[in-house]
Amino acid sequence: MTNNDIVPGFDDEKDDSLKIRLQKIDSVENCLALFLTGYIDTYNSNFFQKRVGKAIDAGFSKLVFNCGGLNYVSSTGIGSFTAFLKAVKPRNGDIVLLEIQPKVYEVFQLLGFSQFFNIKDNIDEAVSYFQQGSQQNTQTIFPKIFSCPICNKKLRAARPGRFRCSECKTILAIDNSGQVFLG
């Protein structure tokens, strides 16, 4: 089964710097695994966003990115993952990242993004995360204590929404599942 069989037009554009292989996960509705090989930087992140955007537009809102073959991700590349998260959340979706190489994970951590993403060890963990449903009861999540991704100040959110860090004044958003985002 080719990528185009799963997402029509997915392979219309290709880029040697980043190869993406798709695999439908049948045990979870609207779930797609994307196996990434190569790197994501300023020059190919637009291409990466466009291709994954096609998968989201095709109805896949639960995305599992297997990053085992990614040897470099720039801050722009990490911005792409954030854009995907913003695109799938309103569609009851989420993103799981797998097998992140240490030097790539370091970039996520340096930019303060490692806590925004569900990072699992393997595809089975990702599948069971989606099967349990990320729609846990908001009663059990809030009030939520967390650290500001910019200045690390401990903050408390009584409910989902947008608010400003009392220390560094960064605008943060927290969704129903307790995930924290910038802006």
CATH number of the domain at 33, please: 3.30.750.24
Contact 96, 120 (CB under 8 A): yes
Q: Which domain holds residue 32?
A: 3-135
Which of the listed residues 95, 114, 135 is the one where a domain comes to its end? 135
- Res 58: pLDDT: 96
Contacts of residue 51, Cβ cutoff 8 Å, sequence gap at least 6: 10, 13, 20
| Domain identity same for 129 and 146 | no
| Domain identity same for 11 and 36 | yes
What is d(CA 75, CA 159) in angstroms, rounded to the nearest whole number?
A: 29
| Domain identity same for 108 and 120 | yes
Could you tell me the pTM of the whole model? 0.72
pLDDT in single tens digits along all 183 residues of the chain = 899 999 999 998 888 899 999 999 999 999 999 999 999 999 999 999 999 999 999 999 999 999 999 999 998 898 899 899 999 999 999 999 999 888 888 887 887 777 777 888 889 999 999 988 744 444 467 778 888 888 888 888 877 778 888 888 888 888 777 778 787
- Res 140: pLDDT: 63
Give the chain as a 3 state SS string: CCHHHHCCCHHHCCECCEEEEEEECCCCCCEEEEEEEEEECCCCHHHHHHHHHHHHHCCCCEEEEEEEEEEEECHHHHHHHHHHHHHHHHHCCEEEEECCCHHHHHHHHHCCCCCCCEEECCHHHHHHHHHHCCCCCHHHHCCEEEECCCCCCEEEECCCEEEECCCCCCEEEECCCCCEEEC
- Res 138: pLDDT: 41
| Domain identity same for 39 and 103 | yes
* Number of domains composing the chain: 2
